[in-house]
Amino acid sequence: MSDQLKQIYAGIMEGNVAVVQQGITAALEAGLNPEVILNQGMISAMAEVGRLFEEGEYFVPEMLIAARAMQGGLSILRPALIRANFQPKGRIAIGTVKGDLHDIGKNLVGMMLEGAGYEIVDLGVDVTPQQFLDAVQNKKADMVALSALLTTTMPNMRATIEALNAAGVRNRVKVIVGGAPVTQEFASQIGADGFAPDASQAARLTNTLLAK
Categorize the per-residue pLDDT at 211 as very low, low, confident or very high, splitting at 50, 70 and 90. confident
Q: Judge if 107 and 182 occupy the same domain.
A: yes
Question: What confidence tens digit (pLDDT) does each residue in 36-68 have?
Answer: 999 999 999 999 999 999 999 999 999 999 999
User: With 80 as the cut, is the pLDDT of residue 71 above it?
Assistant: yes
28: exposed, middle or buried (Cβ count in 10 Å: 0-12, 13-18, 19+) = middle
Question: What confidence tens digit (pLDDT) does each residue in 13-23 have?
Answer: 999 999 999 99
Q: Judge if 198 and 147 occupy the same domain.
A: yes
Q: What is the pLDDT of residue 212?
A: 59
State the total domains in the chain.
2
Specify the 3-state DSSP secondary structure of 194.
Answer: strand
CATH of the domain at 20: 1.10.1240.10
CATH of the domain at 136: 3.40.50.280
| pLDDT average, residue stretch 117-124 | 96
Q: What is the pLDDT of residue 35?
A: 95
Look at 211 and 40; give whichever has higher pLDDT.
40
